[in-house]
Each structure stands twice: as C-alpha cells, then as structure tokens.
Amino acid sequence: MKKEQTDILIIGGGPAGLMASVYTARSGKKTTVIEEQMCGGQLMVTVDIENMPGFTHTTGAELSIAMQKQAEASGANIVYERIKKVEFSTEGKEHLITTEDTEYTAKAVIIATGAGARKLEVENADKFDAKGIHYCAHCDGTFYKDKNVVVVGTGNSAVEDALYMANLAKSVTVIAKYEKFTAQAVLVEKLLAQKNVSVLYKHGIVKVDGQKDKPTKLGSITITPLEQPQQNPLETNKKDHKTLSVDGIFVAIGRAPSSHMFKDQIEISKPGYIKVNERMQTSLEGVYAAGDIIEKQLRQIVTACADGAIAATNASIHVKKLSLKK
C-alpha cells in the first residue's frame, strides 16, 4: 500500500471538483483529485450546452476536456482510483482516504462526488438493468436503432434523451407522471414536433417483463394512469393497466446524491445531500463539499463551478491556518 500526503484532496472530477482544483493549485497548495472513472461527471453525457458563460454552444465532452486540461495546467494531480474508505479526523488532524492501492492523507478535503442516476424501482426492473433498462441514451442508444423505446421522465434530461432517441429509434414513447413537462419550453417544443414521438401524460410504470420466447430479454412494460404524480402505480386499479411492447427503456427521473461513503461522519439531509454553510464547509472542520452533492436550489454547471471555487478558497485558508499553528 503506497502512502501519499497532499494539502487538499478533492473527491470527484466533475465541474465542481475540477474548478476547485484550479483554485487550490493556483493558491500554491498541493492538490490531488481522485476520480473513479473519467473527469467531467454528468458533463460527459450532456450533448448540447448553451447556458455556459462565454459559450453560445458547446458539448459536455468538449467542456470536460477543457476543464481537465485547465486543472492539470494549474498544477493539480488527477488520479483515477476507486475509494474504499474515508476517515475524517474530528480532532483537527489530517484526514485519511484509502483507495485500492494508496493511503492518502490530506489537511483538507473537498467532496465533489455529485449525483448518480435515480433507478427505476418497479417490479422486475433489476432483472433488466443494462439489459433493456438504461440510464444514458447517448451511451446506449445506438443499440436501439429502428426499435421501439420508452423514455421515462419529464425534465430536461428526459426530453434530451427522447430527442436523441427520436433520431435513432422507430418510435419513442415518453412516460410522464405529470400532466405536463417540467423541462425548458424550447426543448419540449422540439420534442413535440417529432413525428415518431408520443407522450403518455399522468402515467406510471407498474412492471417490466421479458419476451415470451426470450424471458431474459426485455419485451414489454405494464403502465397505468395516475390521478396524482405521487400515486404509487402498484396501488392503481388493475383494470386500467395496459401493456406496451418495447425493446428498450431509458430512465431520466432525476439524480440521487452520491454521499453514502460519508454517512455517519458529516451532517447529511434525509434525501442524502450534504449540508454546508456559505463557505461550503460541512459539519466537520477541514471538510468541504461542492456541486450537486450539496443542499441547494439550482444544480447547474455554472453553480457547481461557483461552489468549487468557494470551497477551494476556504479549504486553502484552512490549510494556511494549520501551517501557521506549527
């Protein structure tokens, strides 16, 4: 097991983490970013970005690459490892983060783990995870060219996924639990103009099933009308249930915060978001959080970057204070 010491360790290489690393590295602090897969986070599966300052249009992949290069040019060290254990110090000492190969000690930590896709929790769904049920249309959509697919959700991500699939699939059926979309009007207008797209408002999925001759391959879904968005589809009248033949399902029903590894160490809200103050400091000294992982109103690229800058500034101040005490 290797041992590495760093001033500031940043967990997560999305917009919040990368922007934080730019600020900490430029302040002269030894900075290490630990990313499990690839830098960018949700950015990597975002196709069109039109609300980023300075850009009329860019893509998530382009912006991710640019931000990673900026972080590295600033002096941040980005490593790709899976974290096994996090041990935050409650006595003002260095924090310990253990990966599969290395033990990292850090004077300050910035949590920027973001949020992952919220799973479709209906009967039989676990049987078809990644085998008919997907959470990234841009990653897996090409497998469903000229097929019949379903998109679940009403927000920007769901509409963007449906638009993407409309150019590939034979038909796209959107299952929307609300009576209208919650996505931006310009996106909804584009979607409703697609000839191969249909929308089932105020509907929910009861279960998913395999094909009769190939039970391990997704073949159909059972849907039902909903009186209220909060209504449990399983508690609806079975007489109203209807079966649709589908080849694939793309789920975009929101994100779930990736905060499980910090449970019982810092204060986390009931939904799983980390609580911070205006300095992005958590309930523990020397531990900060930024981006989609924290409690806040707006989760966008630009707000994640702002969170990262604030967290980095205060983490750097914390490290400086520690050095003055010695």
Residue that has been written with the tokens 């590495």 in this structure = 4
Q: Which of 191, 146, 150 is nearest to 168 (CA)?
A: 146
Q: What is the pLDDT along the chain (326 residues), one digit of tens a residue?
A: 899 999 999 999 999 999 999 999 999 999 999 999 899 988 887 777 888 899 899 988 999 999 999 999 999 999 999 999 999 998 878 999 999 999 999 999 999 999 888 899 899 999 998 889 999 898 889 999 999 999 999 999 899 999 999 999 999 999 999 999 999 999 999 999 999 999 999 999 999 999 989 999 999 999 999 999 888 887 888 889 999 999 999 999 988 899 999 999 999 999 999 999 999 999 999 999 999 999 998 888 999 999 999 999 999 999 999 988 76
Q: What is the pTM of this model?
A: 0.78
Query: What 3-state DSSP class applies to 224?
Result: strand
Task: For residues 244 and 219, give the distance between their C-alpha atoms in angstroms, rounded to a whole number.
Answer: 9
**Is 39 within 8 Å of 61 (Cβ atoms)?**
no
Q: What order do you get walking across the sheet with 133-134 strand by strand?
A: 133-134, 248-251, 148-152, 171-176, 197-201
Structural domains of the chain sorted by starting position, each given as residue range(s) with its CATH number in brackets: 2-116+255-325 (3.50.50.60), 119-251 (3.50.50.60)
Classify burial at 124, counting beta carbons within 10 Å of its beta carbon; exposed 0-12, middle 13-18, buried 19 or more. middle
